[in-house]
Amino acid sequence: MLFSTPECRAVVIDLRPGDELGEHSVRERATIEIVSGTVTVVTGPHAVEASTGTLVTFAPGERHSLRADGEARILLMLSPWPADSHYAAGEDARPDRLPENAHSPSLD
């Protein structure tokens, strides 16, 4: 994670060949920039090869997936962070927390 503010959360994701972010959606507007490499982005019936410098946006709730065609690095931005409906009622809404399954070398 590069930074997290109420306006936006920015995360860099390194992908190896064949890595996938399976079909999913988020409650925020998601914007990805391909920093290096090439990925295939799928939304509904459409699949597009996106290379370095490509910027792709997804509306809140829009289903999509992503697959690395080789080594790739992407910048993911979620805005606003977190969206009003991001956390379930009563769930801890600390915007700086990591998900339960997150891995951070500084935590090891």
Rg (CA), the chain: 14
Position 48 in a domain: yes
Burial string for 38-73 (b: 16+ CB within 10 Å, else e) reads bbebbbeeeeeebeeebebebebeeebebbbeeebb
Position 14 in a domain: yes
Tens digit of each residue's pLDDT (9 = 90 or more) over 10-46: 999 999 999 999 898 888 899 999 999 999 999 989 9
Tokens of 97: 């927390």
Instruction: Give the residue numbers spanning the domain of 79.
Output: 3-83
pLDDT range class, residue 58, cuts 50, 70, 90 = very high
pLDDT range class, residue 107, cuts 50, 70, 90 = very low
Tens digit of each residue's pLDDT (9 = 90 or more) over 65-104: 999 999 999 999 998 776 666 656 655 555 455 444 444 4
Q: What pTM was computed for the model?
A: 0.74
SS (H, E, C) 32-75: EEEEECEEEEEECCEEEEEECCCEEEECCCCCEEEEECCCEEEE
Position 76 in a domain: yes
pLDDT given at position 91: 54
Position 103 in a domain: no
